[in-house]
């Protein structure tokens, strides 16, 4: 018998999303995958660089996420950038639809991971940052880092 995997193991992260967007709310969604997609994810191969999510006819879809073909797959292999259905509760989908009606809001995938053996994707309701917001965030991070360094230096003395 195979031992069931427990805990959370990260497969892919979209680090640029936190830089390019203001994250308002996050959701954990299951993914409808084929067998070769799961095997490819278990090898730690995926990319969320150009990925986004949409709501069509009351269903949430992950688009442009790149899960490469499984190396040992045969003719049953999947397409790398196919559209994948995300599994959320109806009330969560309704809440997302209401919030997406606001101008400038979008659904951005933040991470793909395995949670207790099940493939999950973390999606976020986000709005785009302007260029000066990005610079301001970098400036704030540098100032916080400098303050931490000064505090640590002072405690060492």
Q: Quick check: is 117 in a domain?
A: yes
Angle, CA 55 vertex, CA 30 and CA 22 arms, to 5°: 85
In the chain, the number of structural domains is 1
Q: What is the pLDDT of residue 35?
A: 81
Whole-prediction pTM: 0.76
Residue 78 belongs to domain with CATH number: 2.40.280.10
Residue 136 lies in a domain: no
Residue 146 is assigned to a structural domain of this protein: no
What pLDDT digit, counting tens, does each position of 32-84 carry? 988 888 888 888 888 888 889 999 998 999 999 888 887 776 677 767 778 88
Confirm whether 1 is domain-assigned: no
30 neighbors 145 (Cβ within 8 angstroms): no
| Pick from 80, 112, 116: nearest CA to 15 | 112
Residues spanned by the domain of 65:
8-129
What six digits make up the tokens of 52?
């986004």
- Residue 155 is assigned to a structural domain of this protein: no
Distances (CA, A) of 110 to 17, 46, 62, 136, 149: 7, 12, 12, 22, 29
């Amino acid at each position: 018998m195979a031992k069931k995997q427990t805990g959370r193991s990260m497969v892919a992260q979209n680090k640029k999303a936190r830089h390019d967007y203001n994250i308002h709310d996050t959701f954990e969604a299951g993914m409808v995958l084929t067998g070769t997609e799961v095997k490819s994810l278990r090898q730690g191969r995926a990319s969320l660089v150009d990925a986004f999510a949409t709501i069509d006819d009351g269903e949430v879809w992950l688009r442009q996420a790149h899960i490469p073909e499984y190396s040992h797959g045969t003719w049953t292999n999947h397409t790398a950038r196919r559209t994948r259905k995300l599994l959320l509760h109806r009330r969560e989908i309704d809440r997302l639809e209401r919030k997406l009606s606001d101008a400038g809001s979008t659904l951005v995938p933040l991470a793909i991971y395995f949670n207790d053996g099940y493939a999950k994707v973390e999606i976020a309701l986000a709005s785009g940052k302007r260029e000066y917001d990005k610079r301001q965030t970098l400036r704030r991070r540098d100032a916080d880092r400098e303050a931490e360094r000064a505090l640590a230096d002072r405690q060492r003395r």
